[in-house]
Amino acid sequence: MFGLFKRKAPADPVVTDRVKLWVASAMGLCDRDTIMLAELDCRDPGCPDLETVVTVILSDRRQFVLRFPGPMARVTEEGVQSLFAQGPVGHTE
């Protein structure tokens, strides 16, 4: 039905490791912190067809959600750094 539950091919582990490394470095994360990555389809007007969502869960249970337009393979180190240069990012409770 309309591809709602269509599975995507798994992301390239080299790409996911690279993005995780950049986020961990930018946030000063440690081994007890968790980084999860996902590529999500977006159907909202003005939203890119695909976006990369990074969820960071710190060992003290604080959570951050970061969003990058486009597929994970197009996320750059400069893009990650510029997101953090703008000030506080994506904190959730």
- At 11 the pLDDT is 79
Distances in whole angstroms, Cα of residue 72 to Cα of each of 1, 69, 87: 26, 9, 22
Mean pLDDT by 10 residues, the chain (93 residues): 61 93 94 95 82 94 92 95 73 52
- At 14 the pLDDT is 95
- The model's pTM is 0.81
Q: Which residue has the tokens 């960071």?
A: 56
Q: Where are the domains of the chain?
A: 13-74
Eight-state DSSP code of residue 67 = E
- At 4 the pLDDT is 56
- At 88 the pLDDT is 55
